[in-house]
Structure 1
Amino acid sequence: MTRKHEGEAGGPRRRAEIFTATLDMLGSLGYDSLTIEGVAQHSGVNKTTIYRWWSSKSELLRDALLHSHMLRFELPDTGSLRGDLTELAERVQALLDDEHRRTIVEAALVGAVRHQAMRELVVSFLDDRFGRHQPVFERAMARGDLPHDADPALLVDAMAGALWMRVLVRRGDVADTYTRDLVDMLMDGVQKSATLSGRPAR
């Protein structure tokens, strides 16, 4: 939880520097070795200032994950669910193709497996991102691309999980057609499910 107002101690610029230092250290050292003292040294901000804003490294890391520009991208609006999912998949792929950001994602996932606190942080981050993606699915339902009783979380988990497995675990190259083939498979499933329920999606 943020302890100070935006205008204090340098405001948004200083906060961004702290978030960058926090994620840099998470990627290079892992969750266990991440400390507020280390973040203070890396960011050039006095540790007492950081402690006034955040009482623990978990609070600091949560805000860094949620608000840092490094793990953020704009939502697409292509006019179709298939197009939006393809754009989303390509943006997730581009994020993971960046070595620095991929290292941060890997460290977060490893920490989530080992530590309850880090798992809660990652779940909070994923829930936040899913909430930000909701307009994509709301537009799709309004157009008839997605049945109103469909669960968008299944699509997001399947798409992100496939990309994470391909890039982070298999260390495989993602061909230009991979994201399109992945989205085609997901949309085929959506359409089949909608047809079986008597409400065909477009």
Structure 2
Amino acid sequence: MQTNELRRGPRMAQAIHDAALRLLVERGYDGLTIEGIASRSGVNKTTIYRWWPSKDAVLAAALTASDALALAIPDTGSLRGDLRALARRIAELVTDPATAPIAGALLAAGADRPQLAVVAREFFADRLLQERAMLDRASERGEVAAAVDPRSLMDLLAGAIWFRVFVRGEAPTEADLDAVVDTVLYGLDGRAEVG
């Protein structure tokens, strides 16, 4: 890498990441190209290829560096309140036109896109670490047993929302989100007091 490139590296990388995510939103995964990223970012495509071997690698780097899907973990004082707030934020992220295509790219990361699959796994592992604090607080308050598996709980909650949006093509309503939270917390027997 040339001396000038070294100095401009972080700024150039940010421009490339921003361009990749904007193009993903505008054109979808199939419309995302290295040529398009180069044109939008103002960075030569040979420089992009020097840093990343493919559009998947660029997108993986952009997703890792971006705070577009940032998720503040709520602390409402109750597990149900925390899960309701978290469910609403997840629903916003996967339905907002600015972030839904980004979330969709993470969801689509499969065997045929190994670099994106790695990023998706890292992304969700990091989320789980953040969400674990919410469950630890609930355990300290006596709302949930310490043995509850955070991954299963969050898979049920977030998975229901992602499935509703990306598979069924429906935006969840407030009542839908409350029903998901209550089912995750209390099961299907309907005997739990909900407040």
TM exceeding 0.5? yes
* TM-score, normalised relative to structure 1: 0.75
| Aligned-pair identity (%) | 40
**Contact 2:94 / 2:100 at 8 angstroms: preserved in 1?**
yes
Alpha-carbon distance in 2 for matches of 1:42, 1:90: 33
Structure 1 window deviating more from structure 2 (77-86 vs 47-56): it is: 47-56
Offset of 1:171 from its aligned partner? 1.6
Structure 1 window deviating more from structure 2 (69-78 vs 49-58): it is: 49-58
* TM-score, normalised relative to structure 2: 0.78
5 Å matches for 1:40-189?
A: 40-47=38-45, 49-50=47-48, 54=52, 57-112=55-110, 114-189=112-187
**Contact 1:24 / 1:104 at 8 angstroms: preserved in 2?**
no
Alpha-carbon distance in 2 for matches of 1:63, 1:145: 38
Gaps of 5+ in 2: 1-5, 191-195
Alpha-carbon distance in 2 for matches of 1:159, 1:108: 17
**Contact 2:57 / 2:115 at 8 angstroms: preserved in 1?**
no
How many residues align? The count is 182
Q: Which SS does the other structure have where 1:99 is aligned?
A: coil
Query: What letter is aligned with 2:148?
Result: A
Alpha-carbon distance in 1 for matches of 2:111, 2:177: 27
Alpha-carbon distance in 2 for matches of 1:124, 1:90: 22
Offset of 1:182 from its aligned partner? 0.9
**C-alpha distance 95-168 of structure 1, shift in aligned 2 (>3 A):** same
Alpha-carbon distance in 1 for matches of 2:184, 2:128: 17
**Contact 2:80 / 2:181 at 8 angstroms: preserved in 1?**
yes
**Contact 2:19 / 2:40 at 8 angstroms: preserved in 1?**
yes
Q: Which SS does the other structure have where 2:80 is aligned?
A: helix
**Contact 1:90 / 1:179 at 8 angstroms: preserved in 2?**
yes
Alpha-carbon distance in 2 for matches of 1:66, 1:129: 12
Offset of 1:50 from its aligned partner? 4.2
Offset of 1:42 from its aligned partner? 1.5
Q: Which residue of 2 aligns with 1:9?
A: 8
**C-alpha distance 62-146 of structure 1, shift in aligned 2 (>3 A):** farther
Q: Which SS does the other structure have where 1:69 is aligned?
A: coil
Query: What letter is aligned with 2:146?
Result: H
**C-alpha distance 53-115 of structure 1, shift in aligned 2 (>3 A):** closer
How big is the alpha-carbon RMSD for the aligned residues of Structure 1 and Structure 2?
Answer: 2.7
Gaps of 5+ in 1: 1-6, 193-202
